[in-house]
Amino acid sequence: MSAFPKRIRVRIEWLIIRTLAVVIPLLPRRLCHLLADGCGFAASYLHWPGRQVAASNLEAALGKEIPVSCRKQLVRESYQHFSRAMADLFWSPRLNGENLRVIFDLEQVERLKAERGTEHGLIFACLHYGGFEWIALALGLSGFKCTVVTQAFKNPFLNRTFNRLREVSGHQIIRREGALVRLYKALRKNRSVTLAVDLTISAKRPSVPIDCFGMQTCVTFAHAWLHKRTGAPIIPTHCEPLPDGRYRLVLHPELRLAPEATHQQIAQACWDCFEPVIRRNPAPWLWMYKHWRYRPAETPRAYPGYANDSPHFRKLLARMEEEKAVAGGGAH
């Protein structure tokens, strides 16, 4: 009996998503953004769990920099930026080489093409910020053949629709499971790869700890592993929202890394490009996500309320300290 409501629910979800995928591309993009802003505004008040996470994140990360009176506004704006990103994803069948240059400031992409061309694979390490869903689409329509890592939905009926939306520019979508080998093969075939590097992953899985707003979290080291195996440059990338619904695709300078740099050091260097961006303009980041799921056993720093102690995370931190000790010993 319990399975019956679930079967109905997943099909209702699929019907809603399919309807949005058909209707939204028929609407002017400006109207889509207005509707998205309204949905984001409502969600920031009605989605209680996400609102609590966002408020807790802002207090822990930027509590000394942002007055309490401004945090509610930032939570609301974060929801609205996310809603706009989703609306743009559904609108993406309308995106093409011509209107791309109206919607996007692609000056840095054109500079990269002039300097490197598009024949060699690059690692675009991406941030969930602003119009993040359109990073791979903009790169693909600009001539970079990309392989993109995405996470499967719990509702399997949704995957085909979202894949179709994300493949508008002709790039290849792969799932997180077993992605590392496929990304490696893509780079060997001179395809570029894009992957998000700012989301927390389970400390039980292969991961590295980084310092993020003065707190420890654990993230993927896939971009670091790929760089060390293939030599492909890592280019931290984010999509900056501009006035009137436009975006700027920001390509940070290629990471300059010592040959002996560890996976953790590479992941940290990548994040260090992004943190100043978020500090300058916090609202477009995904604050309603649990970025700090784990709390070190002994720390004077106040972590978000949802953070927990984890023996697996303690092992990660201990391993990092051992690597530092070894590197320090080698320096002498």
pLDDT classification of 328: cutoffs 50, 70, 90: low
Least confident of 14-23, 159-168, 223-232, 260-269: 159-168
Least confident of 91-95, 148-152, 208-212, 282-286: 148-152
Share of the chain above pLDDT 90, in %: 71
- Distance, CA of 98 to CA of 123 (rounded, Å): 26
Map residue 258 onto helix, strand or coil.
Answer: coil
pLDDT number for residue 160: 87
Q: φ, ψ for residue 101 (rounded to 5)?
A: -80, -10
Whether the full predicted model's pTM is greater than 0.85, yes or no, is yes
Show the tokens assigned to 330: 């080698």
Show the tokens assigned to 228: 């060390």
pLDDT in tens, 306-316: 999 999 999 89
Q: What region, left, alpha or beta, does residue 170 occupy, with left being phi > 0 and alpha being psi -120 to 50 degrees? A: left
pLDDT number for residue 189: 92
pLDDT number for residue 166: 85
- Host H or E run for residue 57: helix 48-62
pLDDT number for residue 329: 57
Of residues 171 and 331, which shows the higher confidence score? 171
Buried b (16+ CB within 10 A) or exposed e, 126-150: bbbbbbbbbbbbbbbbbebbbbbbb
Query: Is residue 167 predicted with pLDDT exceeding 90?
Result: no
Query: The tokens 């195996």 sit on which residue?
Result: 229
- Distance, CA of 170 to CA of 184 (rounded, Å): 19
Query: Is residue 156 predicted with pLDDT exceeding 90?
Result: no
- Distance, CA of 250 to CA of 133 (rounded, Å): 14
Report whether 236 contacts 188 (CB < 8 A).
Answer: no
CB atoms within 10 A of CB 199: 15
Report whether 283 contacts 74 (CB < 8 A).
Answer: yes
Average pLDDT on 326-330 reads 61
Domain spans in the chain, listed from the N-terminal domain onward: 3-331
CB atoms within 10 A of CB 270: 26
- Distances in Å between the Cα of 81 and the Cα atoms of 30, 33, 268, 287, 309 are 14, 9, 26, 11, 31
